[in-house]
């Protein structure tokens, strides 16, 4: 996976952490913070009241998606919420295709009328 130069420095710094610190828990490196695309078309509205900031999200690679070869579906508890935005999904799709450990969570829930502003998703790699 290719990271921007600003992220490479952070990853290099994390590589210097003592192994004892890594043994205490996993290290997550934030690689993307994006709005959720398609929220208004899927289960988001019906699940809105149950979702919480910090909830784990599942990312599902859809390489055969007819609209976007880099499509990454976002699910919450097995329910489709939407997708990572097309303009921001290439690196995550490549990491998933390479079998790299990629995770996601709900960063922010905002009660806004514009569905593009309602859910902010954090995507991270696990070291």
- pLDDT at residue 19 in the model: 42
Which domains are seen in the chain, by residue range? 5-126 (3.30.70.2330)
DSSP string, 91-114: HHHHHHHTT--EEEEEEEE---SS
pLDDT tens, residue by residue, 52-83: 999 999 999 999 999 999 999 999 999 999 99
Rounded Cα–Cα distance for residues 53 and 39 (Å): 16
pTM of the model: 0.78
Residue showing tokens 């784990």:
56
Please, what is the end-to-end C-alpha distance for the chain in angstroms?
13
Rounded-to-integer distance, Cα 12 and Cα 124, Å: 16
Quick one: pLDDT band at residue 3, thresholds 50, 70, 90?
A: low
- Which pLDDT value is given to residue 115? 77
Alpha-carbon span 7 to 11, nearest angstrom = 6
Check pLDDT > 50 for residue 88: yes
Return the higher-pLDDT residue of 26 and 111.
Answer: 111
């Amino acid at each position: 996976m290719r990271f921007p130069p600003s992220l490479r420095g952070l990853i290099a710094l994390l590589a210097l952490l003592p192994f004892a610190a890594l043994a205490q828990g996993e290290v997550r490196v934030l690689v993307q913070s994006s709005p959720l695309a398609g929220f208004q078309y899927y289960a988001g509205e019906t699940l809105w009241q149950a979702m919480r900031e910090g909830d784990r999200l599942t990312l599902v690679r859809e390489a055969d998606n007819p609209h976007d070869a880099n499509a990454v579906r976002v699910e919450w508890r097995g329910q489709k919420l939407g997708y990572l935005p097309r303009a921001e999904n290439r690196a995550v799709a490549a990491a998933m295709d390479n079998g790299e450990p990629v995770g996601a969570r709900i960063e922010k829930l905002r009660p806004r009328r514009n569905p593009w502003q309602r859910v902010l998703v954090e995507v991270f790699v696990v070291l």
